[in-house]
Amino acid sequence: MPVLERTQMFEGRVWSVVRDRVKFGDHESVRDVLIHPGAVAIIAVDDDDRVLLIRQYRHPVAMYLFEPPAGLLDIAGEPALETAKRELAEEAGVRAQTWNVLVDLFNSPGGSSEAIRVYLARDLSALPEGRPHTGEAEEAHLPQAWVPLNEAVTLVLNGAIGSPSGVAGILALAAVRNSQEDGLRPADSPWQPRSWLEANQRV
């Protein structure tokens, strides 16, 4: 829809908020939009069909969450797949030989432009030097849990795993496993929603 006017309401370290005056046919409305750089997440699965989760404090919800490794698309020009590889190394000390796109989602499209691409990472190995200590604050200590996929699905369904990338990624992987067809996309598949957001000043 045509944006008639945009006002910067807030500019933060990671995201900003704009107020758009939007034309819907013969009507005009005002919408506040959180402009987000986007993110990637990684469902890393080992040879025993266990999913890697890390425990991290999330200040906006004031609780610790178990969720897959993830990170912001906040380095200009870095492809999403390279961000995912870097985040898997930095947050978990793990690398993967086989990568696929698992699922794409919008986190909260009613108010935020955040788009998330969730990758599936397989054929894992630990980094010889271990996890690099690049994080600070809530990223300084990230305990790991390797959870069998079936158990991870149960944890999603009973509410114990609530991060959007964890919920979507775990259930998507379970769906792929239960399907007769391989629904996995190549790791370098086009990410059309992300391209649309970039073209429309939503990143």
What pLDDT, in 10s, does the model give residues 7-53? 999 999 999 999 999 999 889 999 999 999 999 999 999 999 999 99
**Least confident span in 126-130, 137-141, 167-171:** 137-141
pLDDT for residue 97? 98
Indicate if 127 and 66 belong to the same structural domain. Answer: yes
Residue 193 lies in a domain: no
Averaged pLDDT for residues 73-94: 95
Indicate if 52 and 130 belong to the same structural domain. Answer: yes
Is residue 121 within 8 Å of residue 43, measured between CB atoms? yes
pLDDT for residue 139? 65
Averaged pLDDT for residues 118-141: 81
Is residue 146 within 8 Å of residue 153, measured between CB atoms? no
The residue type of 89 is A
Indicate if 25 and 108 belong to the same structural domain. Answer: no
**Of 28, 91, 139, 151, catalytic:** 139
pLDDT for residue 136? 64
Residue 196 lies in a domain: no
Indicate if 146 and 180 belong to the same structural domain. Answer: yes
Total domain count for the chain?
2
Q: Which residues contact 28 (CB under 8 A, 6 or more apart)?
A: 4, 21, 22
Give the pTM. Answer: 0.93
Q: Which two tokens stand for residue 92?
A: 């978990």
Please give the share of the chain, as a percent, with pLDDT higher than 70. 95
Answer yes or no: 151 catalytic: no
Residue 197 lies in a domain: no
Binning pLDDT at 50, 70 and 90, where does residue 141 land? confident
pLDDT at residue 138 greater than cutoff 70:
no
| Start-to-end Cα distance in the chain | 17
Which single residue is written with the structure tokens 């793990």?
94
Range of the domain at 8: 3-35
Averaged pLDDT for residues 69-98: 96
For residue 64, the surrounding DSSP H or E stretch is strand 63-67
Average pLDDT, the chain: 93
